[in-house]
Amino acid sequence: MKQIIGWIGVGLIVSAYTLNVFGLLRASDLTYCILNLLGAIGIIVSSYAKRDFQPIILNSIWVIVAIVGIIRSAT
């Protein structure tokens, strides 16, 4: 189950990036930030289950950036 959560996380981040590249979402859009936030959390859950700490650190930073983006898009 945790592996599935990780794959969903990857899919969310790749989807957000793809939609941004094709001009369907801006990086400042709330949806973009939420997709990245949820994606990073999914990868953290999966990585923690495997005790793989490099993705945990990277995606923890990604979570912080996404939260800042959410706050900025709300104002």
Give the whole-angstrom CA distance, residue 13 versus residue 9: 6
pLDDT of residue 1: 85
d(CA 73, CA 55): 26
For the chain, first and last CA: distance in Å?
36
The full set of domain ranges for the chain reads: 2-74
| Token code pair at residue 2 | 């945790």
pLDDT band at residue 13, thresholds of 50, 70 and 90? very high
Mean pLDDT of 5-21: 98
pLDDT per residue as tens digits for the range 14-51: 999 999 999 999 999 999 999 999 999 999 999 999 99
> Could you tell me the pTM of the whole model?
0.92
Question: What pLDDT, on the 0 to 100 scale, is given for residue 4?
Answer: 96
Structure tokens at 8: 């969903």
